[in-house]
Structure 1
């Protein structure tokens, strides 16, 4: 009781509220009949099940920690990578694909344009989803003419999206 007095700062109203709540909680407790062996066995089984689930969850968290750290780094990344670099990242994560096959796949599935001025440029909806960026630049072409270049780059969010996409396809295959 002295602890409650110290916690309430000798405030009588607060102490009364605490005591009433304490009594309410104690009166709401269900009495467990420990004389019944079935009750004790059920409680022990429930506890064992909870322990097993907790250990399983902790093990799964430990196993997934590197992937979670990688995913969070990718999602939070402000830098984009070239599609060739993405192919290397996907390969490092267990799905064999090269730059040319990845470009071909992205064109085939509609992520990148298939012809004309939009060849290898990302579709607008995927830019809006934050999967791609376009890097614009200039270079000197034949005869000293300046040529504007557009290079598709995959954002951190896009990198994570495609890594998950290919790894999930690998598991289902």
Structure 2
């Protein structure tokens, strides 16, 4: 993947600061961002820009600089308390931006230009709101969820049949980083390790007695509230694209 170098004057939050807020190793946050960049590239969205910083030891290391929207995309895979801490930090960053000075137009042409610019700003704001609505809907879908859910319950929560949901999670046409589960040699469903690391799914061995009376074990996949949120958001994005293509 081609990594873009961050060259912007917009407010950003570094991957180092996110690692500190999330109580995670910076290397693990870098790994999560690289996986997120794969998904963003697949969705034809702007990927997270890479930068470099000089540490106290004089060595230069890489980091990423995230916009507010990219930060929200990343933290969706983390816990609810972290979401609040990062939201508060973004509020502090936004307060650092000085309010623009608006000059009153002195003539008819200036007034007309100001009106046109105002309407354009309103259209941009409406477009941004429309873009954020699917994310808000996805987060609200499980805002009251407690604990993890099984495959059948998760499928129901996101409005899909179980077989359709399994096919979506294991779709071989998607890159591995975009899938959630796979079938092993015996046909049993397993969770991808990177999804477990992201906090979207859990897996443990379930013991049962087989038809032959012998003890058997099989993997049992469950989806966390963060995982259901991520899936709901991805499905909403897919449906929005389908509607736009009609």
Give the conservation status (yes or no) of the 8 Å contact 1:75–1:157.
no
Give the distance between the partners of 2:170 and 2:118, measured in 1 at CA.
Answer: 49
66-75 or 149-158, which moves further after superposition? 66-75
Q: Which of 18, 40, 43 matches 2:111?
A: 43
Larger strand fraction of residues? 2
Give the distance between the partners of 1:82 and 1:44, measured in 2 at CA.
Answer: 58
Give the conservation status (yes or no) of the 8 Å contact 1:131–1:154.
yes
Q: How many residues align?
A: 135
Give the distance between the partners of 1:81 and 1:158, measured in 2 at CA.
Answer: 10
**SS at structure 2 position matched to 1:85:** helix
60-69 or 116-125, which moves further after superposition? 60-69
Deviations, residues 104-146 of structure 1 (Å, cap 9, x unaligned): 3323335323223672011112211222111444445558755
The within-5 A match list for 1:135-154 is: 135-141=204-210, 146-154=215-223
2:234 corresponds in structure 1 to 165
Shift in CA distance, 72/151, structure 1 to aligned 2, threshold 3 Å: same
Deviations, residues 77-114 of structure 1 (Å, cap 9, x unaligned): 562222222222322xxxxx410122133233353232
Give the distance between the partners of 1:142 and 1:128, measured in 2 at CA.
Answer: 34
Give the distance between the partners of 1:61 and 1:118, measured in 2 at CA.
Answer: 43
Q: Which ranges of structure 2 fall in alignment gaps of 5 or more residues?
A: 1-100
Larger helix fraction of residues? 1
* TM-score, normalised with respect to structure 1: 0.53
**SS at structure 2 position matched to 1:81:** coil
Q: Which of 102, 120, 127 matches 2:196?
A: 127
- Looking at CA atoms only, which structure, 1 or 2, has the larger radius of gyration? 1
68-77 or 157-166, which moves further after superposition? 68-77
Shift in CA distance, 76/134, structure 1 to aligned 2, threshold 3 Å: farther
Shift in CA distance, 62/101, structure 1 to aligned 2, threshold 3 Å: closer
Give the conservation status (yes or no) of the 8 Å contact 2:105–2:111.
no
Give the conservation status (yes or no) of the 8 Å contact 2:138–2:233.
no
The within-5 A match list for 1:1-173 is: 34=106, 37=107, 40-47=108-115, 49-50=117-118, 53-54=121-122, 57=125, 61=129, 68=136, 70-71=138-139, 74=142, 79-91=147-159, 97-109=160-172, 110=176, 111-116=180-185, 119-141=188-210, 146-170=215-239, 171-172=241-242
Q: Which ranges of structure 1 fall in alignment gaps of 5 or more residues?
A: 1-28, 92-96
RMSD of aligned Cα (Å): 4.1
* TM-score, normalised with respect to structure 2: 0.40
Larger relative contact order (Cα-Cα within 8 Å, sequence gap ≥ 6): 1
1:9 corresponds in structure 2 to none
